[in-house]
Amino acid sequence: MSARVLVIEDAEAIGAAVSSALRESGYDVQHRLDGRQLEADLGRFRPDLVVLDVMLPGRDGFQLLEVIRRSSGAGVVMLTARDGVPDRLRGLSGGADDYVGKPFVLAELVARVSAVLRRLGRTPSTVQVGDLVVDADAGVVMRADQAIELTATELRLLVYLAAQRGRVVSKTQILTAVWGYEDYDPNLVEVHVSAVRRKLEEHGPRLVHTVRGLGYVLRAEE
User: Environment class of residue 149 by beta-carbon count within 10 Å: exposed (0-12), middle (13-18) or buried (19+)?
Assistant: exposed
**If we measure between CA atoms, which residue out of 93, 106, 92 comes closest to residue 7?**
106
Contact 49, 6 (CB under 8 A): yes
pLDDT, one tens digit per residue, over 109-168 is: 888 898 898 888 877 667 889 899 998 777 889 998 899 999 999 999 998 898 888 889
Give the C-alpha separation, 211 to 222, whole Å. 17
Q: Which amino acid is at 206?
A: R
Per-residue pLDDT, 13? 95
Contact 53, 80 (CB under 8 A): yes
State mean pLDDT over 12-26.
Answer: 89
3-class secondary-structure state, position 211 = strand
Give the C-alpha separation, 161 to 138, whole Å. 17
Helix axes 12-24, 106-119, angle to 10 degrees: 60
DSSP, res 179: I
3-class secondary-structure state, position 34 = coil
pLDDT, one tens digit per residue, over 87-103 is: 777 777 788 999 888 88
pLDDT, one tens digit per residue, over 50-107 is: 999 998 999 999 999 999 999 999 999 998 876 666 777 777 778 899 988 888 888 8
CA atoms within 13 A on the CB side of 17: 16
Give the C-alpha separation, 130 to 80, whole Å. 41
pLDDT at 206 over 70: yes
| Cis geometry, peptide bond prior to residue 103 (ω within 30 degrees of 0) | yes
pLDDT at 1 over 60: no
| Overall pTM > 0.75 | no
Give the C-alpha separation, 176 to 135, whole Å. 21
State mean pLDDT over 37-41.
Answer: 95
Per-residue pLDDT, 172? 87
Return the CA Rg of the chain: 19
Give the C-alpha separation, 9 to 123, whole Å. 23
State mean pLDDT over 170-189.
Answer: 81
Contact 107, 177 (CB under 8 A): yes
Give the C-alpha separation, 97 to 84, whole Å. 17
**If we measure between CA atoms, which residue out of 181, 27, 67 comes closest to residue 76?**
67
